[in-house]
Amino acid sequence: MQFASIVILTGAGLSAESGLGTFRGHDGLWDQYNLEEVATPEGFARNPPKVHEFYNLRRGWLKQAKPNAAHLALARLEQEHTGAVLTVTQNIDGLHEAAGSHRLIHMHGELGRALCARCGTSLPWTQDLSLTTSCPVCHKAGFMRPDVVWFGEMPREMPHIAAAIDACDLFVAIGTSGSVYPAAGFVAEARRAGAHTVELNLDPSDCASLFAEAHYGPATEVVPAFVGRLLHG
């Protein structure tokens, strides 16, 4: 079946085989770190060095991480599919663009960028951040933070995402546990819009029952296979 407008939602499971840890489940990041301490505005206000240390460590992991076969398959889908393909990612790791995806929304921000909380400048950033880091634009120290969305902050580009889901005829969620809103609610919106819905994940997510079709296994296997069927029938 040919689809005219596809929305792909991705989560941490897509990058697991690139060596980046997921958040929940066995050995997940939220087993090792307190989410309230390292991923909320309140945690940052209480203890900025702790938050910087968490994201500096994760920014370091990105230096070794390469896109895997699943990221590459999604880039190929965007390039070769006759319909429109929009990828909405919760991942902050930059691996979609490294694989060649262009129509991409980073709803939880990007670890490869820093944001000055004083003047609002966002810019590409590869070094460690600390309380002494100065903003290259307003030159004040103490206001730089990773350009990511913390719990309690507004995810990016929600009106654009809502419009794309409303207009899509295929919605595919990949490697996400379906436990964090608003992304966890996208499948219900897609169903209301009349789209076919597909889950590709290692195991059934929290919203598995809402999907019309599902394929379970490692992303590097199930995603290229699914993309192959979409492109070549």
* Residues catalogued as catalytic: 108
Cα gap 213→191, rounded to integer Å: 12
- The answer to whether the annotation marks 139 as part of a ligand binding site is no
Q: Binding string, 94-133, against ligand APR, x = CB under 6 A?
A: --------------x-------------------------
How many angstroms separate the CA atoms of 4 and 169, rounded? Answer: 7
Does 78 carry a binding-site annotation? no
In the complex with ligand APR, which residue's Cβ is closer, 52 or 108? Answer: 108
* Interface map 61-100 toward ligand APR (x if CB under 6 A): -----------------------------x----------
Q: Which helix (H) or strand (E) holds 148?
A: strand 144-148
116 known member of a binding site: yes
- Any idea which residue has 């085989």 for tokens? 17
Residue 182 preceded by cis peptide, ω within 30: yes
- Residue number of the CB closest to ligand APR reads 13
Which of these segments, 11-19, 52-60, 116-124, 154-162, binds ligand APR (CB under 6 A)?
Answer: 11-19
Alpha-helix runs per DSSP H in the chain: 29-32, 35-38, 41-46, 48-64, 69-80, 95-99, 158-167, 186-192, 219-232
- Beta bridge partners of residue 84, listed in sequence order: 5
Q: Which residues bind ligand APR (CB under 6 A)?
A: 11-13, 16-17, 22-25, 28, 90, 108, 175-177, 179-180, 201-203, 205, 218-219
